Structure 1
Amino acid sequence: MEYVVAAVILLVVLVAGAVGLMVPRMRRRELPPQAGGGTTTLERPTEDEIPPLVVPAEADEGLPPLIEEPPVLETERKPELDQPEPTAGRLVRLRARLARSQTVLGRGLLSVLSRDHLDEDAWEEIEDSLISADVGVEATQALVERLRERVRVLGTRTVAEVRAQLAEELTAALEPDMDRTLRTEPHEGRPAVVLVVGVNGAGKTTTCGKIGRVLIADGRSVLFGAADTFRAAAAEQLATWGERVGAETVRGPEGGDPASVAFDAVKRGIDTGIDTVLIDTAGRLQNKVGLMDELGKVKRVVEKHGPVDETLLILDATTGQNGLEQARVFTEVVDVTGVVLTKLDGTAKGGIVIAVQRKLGIPVKLVGLGEGPDDLAPFEPGAFVEALLGSDS
């Protein structure tokens, strides 16, 4: 009986071992698992078992390539720079801007002077016209006195003759022999420095940009110094003017020290070999002592690099005789060397040119005759008078 039990146990062990050897081989042929998870293990097929991939010829049509070429990036285009108009003859080309001034200083005077007889009322009318045009009382009296003497000596004349003599007197009153040259020639190892000053609202920053265009049109290289750090938009505005003509702008933090910005601008001009540095200062009222003292500081700091070549005062032609007081105070603080008259277009106040020069002995060097970027012209007395008087007819 014991032998039978042992034989059964041995038989069971042998069967279990055979089953254990067969199970792994069966697992390799399992079907993919049912949905719900798990991992499928498949034997790697041989190369002979992989069928070739057959793609119909028409399937290639209209399909993108399997490997796309990288897109070609266009290089950023540099903005085209403006080409400022040449300064020669600008005043002649812009004579139409003085059309309204002709009514007072031109046609009005001609119509009176061409009368057969000039009595005291006529001469008073001439005086009133000149004073209304901001020529100034003293300058008007001197001009009228010379005209009366010419009429007394020469008698009645044609309109053409009257016009020619009036043109001579007005040109003489503008002192054509004054030096109106802009001192913008660079020095040995450093640029020329032009300081631009004026009161608020005179168009100072815009005019500074236009002066830069005038210099560039004449072949100068220019750098702007945005020393007006108190007006938020001033530096941005000046930088825009510079970008249009390819000029660099040195600027500082808003509310920063204007003198420091001006100093850095001149230093940058020295380092880069620029011909002319234009420094735009903050607008100031001539009766604010503290602000005027600060303007004096700007000039003193800049002069550590060398003397300032030009200090241009921007005057609004429509301010009339008040502009004379502005010019006087600015001259005491920073020694103004020249005047730029703006907003002469559409105004009958062209006589302020005569008043400024007679009262202060400061030459008007540039005049603004419009809002266009090139509507700033070198002042030429003869051409200015011709524009005021209009045609001979």
Structure 2
Amino acid sequence: MTDSFWAYVGIAVAVLLVVGGVVLGLLRGRAQGPEPGPEAPQVPGTPGPADADLAPDGAIGTIEHPGEVVDTEPDTTAPPSAPEAAPGVEAPEAPAGRLRRLRARLARSNSSLGRGLLALLAGGRLDEAAWEEVEDTLLAADLGVQASTELVEALRTRVAVEGSTDEAAVRGMLREELLRLVDPSMDRSLADERVDGRPSCILVVGVNGTGKTTTVGKLARVLVAEDKDVVLGAADTFRAAAADQLETWGGRVGVPTVRSDREGADPASVAFDAVAAAAEMEADVVVVDTAGRLQNKVGLMDELGKVKRVIEKRSPVDEVLLVLDATTGQNGLRQAEVFAEVVGITGIVLTKLDGTAKGGIVVAVQRALGVPVKLVGLGEGPDDLAPFDPEAFVDAIVD
């Protein structure tokens, strides 16, 4: 072989050695990974062969800072977010706020009574004719004969003893004597708490046209504002729209209504079902609406007694609220007496008290029945029903 042949063989071997070295270097570099550099991207939370580590609980995590381990598994121990209010459900105004707002309305509706009394008493001419005029003013305010006579006698005695007709002094005397007649010692609380592991039961009754179903809907708002779980019973099955109306009121504040789909259904059966449903739902209180009825209709009053008796087969009736229209004045007292005989009234709801200056009906109805006024309605708004506050009521008259 020539010298040139061996020269070509040597060159070929050298080329093979160089290529083999390059390939071997590339393979070793791929196995070891690239050297970290400033341009190497890092994805937080992505473990790799170079940075995999065990978290204290054994889970695989990434060490992003010395001594800090971030779990790659989702955190299931975080507290759940607060539940959102159901769409379309309203938050009723708290009773405390209602009292402040309604006091101003009471003052306007009874302003003529307060002004008239103060003008007479502080006029400096308290002769017999003046005292008769004071009594006439009280009678016109529906205070009632007996209560008016008592108030006049008490004021005459105090004025004679204290010898003062100063307006501030007379105002103080009038306030004290009126408050005594309204009687702040009466228990005006509602039976709205669970009793012996069952919901309390409130039966609402009244004559036609007093706004009874509306009052039940507003009462549900009062109870919801006090954080009560409420169920409504639509036992007025004779007025076509009564159940729909009550269901609408309840739906606005997320309160269920138990009703019959059949017009003219037995109201006692619906009332019974409402009480049973409230027990199953573990509600705090069930409020049963009944059909309005005239007190002189014996058959209807007997039916109302039946509704109460049927409810009592399932649960005691803890409260019977009579809804009265304050504008009817003394005419409403006979209604109240008949209802009390049939179902045993425990409290009065006076509606439309803003439409009259005859605030004395509060005293008259309490005396006639021996039960307190517990709620008053002073407007058409959904939150215009409020617990009755004797001191706020009297202050609204004399201030």
Shorter chain as denominator, the TM-score bin is: 0.7 to 0.9
Task: Give distance in 1, aligned partners of 2:248 and 2:128.
Answer: 55
Say how many residue pairs are matched: 314
Match for residue 87 of structure 1?
95
Question: Which of the residues 87, 93, 101 maps onto 2:109?
Answer: 101
**Contact kept? 2:155, 2:174, Cα under 8 Å:** yes
Q: 1:123 deviation in Å?
A: 0.9
**Contact kept? 1:94, 1:375, Cα under 8 Å:** yes
Secondary structure of the residue that 1:350 maps to in structure 2? Answer: coil
Alignment gaps of 5+ in structure 2: 1-84
Question: Which of the residues 135, 144, 150 maps onto 2:143?
Answer: 135
**Contact kept? 1:171, 1:385, Cα under 8 Å:** yes
How do 1:183-262 and structure 2 match up within 5 A? Answer: 183-252=191-260, 253-262=262-271
1:292 corresponds to 2:301:
yes
Moved more, 90-99 or 258-267: 90-99
Match for residue 173 of structure 2?
165
Task: Give distance in 2, aligned partners of 1:105 and 1:79.
Answer: 45
Match for residue 326 of structure 1?
335
Question: Which of the residues 275, 289, 313 maps onto 2:284?
Answer: 275
- Amino acid corresponding to residue 249 of structure 1 in structure 2: T
Q: 1:323 deviation in Å?
A: 1.0
Task: Give distance in 2, aligned partners of 1:350 and 1:283.
Answer: 24
Task: Give distance in 2, aligned partners of 1:210 and 1:303.
Answer: 25
Secondary structure of the residue that 2:241 maps to in structure 1? Answer: helix
Deviations 1:324-366 (A, max 9, x none): 1111100000000000000001311111000011222111000
Secondary structure of the residue that 2:265 maps to in structure 1? Answer: coil
Moved more, 337-346 or 116-125: 116-125
Where does structure 1 differ by over 3 angstroms across 4 or more consecutive aligned residues?
Answer: none
Question: Which of the residues 310, 318, 342 maps onto 2:319?
Answer: 310
- Amino acid corresponding to residue 85 of structure 1 in structure 2: E
1:145 corresponds to 2:153:
yes
- Amino acid corresponding to residue 327 of structure 1 in structure 2: A
Q: 1:158 deviation in Å?
A: 2.1
Task: Give distance in 2, aligned partners of 1:220 and 1:166.
Answer: 38
Match for residue 394 of structure 2?
385
TM-score between both structures, scaled by the size of structure 1: 0.78
Q: Percent same amino acid at aligned positions?
A: 67
Task: Give distance in 2, aligned partners of 1:78 and 1:218.
Answer: 18
**Contact kept? 2:202, 2:286, Cα under 8 Å:** yes
**Contact kept? 2:302, 2:342, Cα under 8 Å:** yes
**Contact kept? 1:91, 1:384, Cα under 8 Å:** no
Match for residue 370 of structure 2?
361
Task: Give distance in 1, aligned partners of 2:196 and 2:366.
Answer: 32
Secondary structure of the residue that 1:232 maps to in structure 2? Answer: coil
Match for residue 74 of structure 1?
none
Deviations 1:209-259 (A, max 9, x none): 111111111111111100000001110110010010000001112111000
Alignment gaps of 5+ in structure 1: 1-76
Deviations 1:273-298 (A, max 9, x none): 11110000000100000000000000
Match for residue 162 of structure 2?
154
Q: 1:100 deviation in Å?
A: 4.3
**Contact kept? 1:102, 1:108, Cα under 8 Å:** no
Secondary structure of the residue that 2:313 maps to in structure 1? Answer: coil
Deviations 1:20-75 (A, max 9, x none): xxxxxxxxxxxxxxxxxxxxxxxxxxxxxxxxxxxxxxxxxxxxxxxxxxxxxxxx
Q: 1:175 deviation in Å?
A: 1.1
Match for residue 61 of structure 1?
none
**Contact kept? 2:110, 2:359, Cα under 8 Å:** no
Q: 1:302 deviation in Å?
A: 0.5
**Contact kept? 1:99, 1:346, Cα under 8 Å:** no
Task: Give distance in 1, aligned partners of 2:368 and 2:340.
Answer: 12
Q: 1:103 deviation in Å?
A: 3.2
Match for residue 43 of structure 1?
none
Radius of gyration: which is bigger?
Answer: 1
Secondary structure of the residue that 1:231 maps to in structure 2? Answer: coil
Task: Give distance in 2, aligned partners of 1:190 and 1:159.
Answer: 53
Q: 1:99 deviation in Å?
A: 4.0
RMSD: 1.3
Secondary structure of the residue that 1:354 maps to in structure 2? Answer: helix
Deviations 1:172-217 (A, max 9, x none): 0001111111011112332110000000000100001111111111
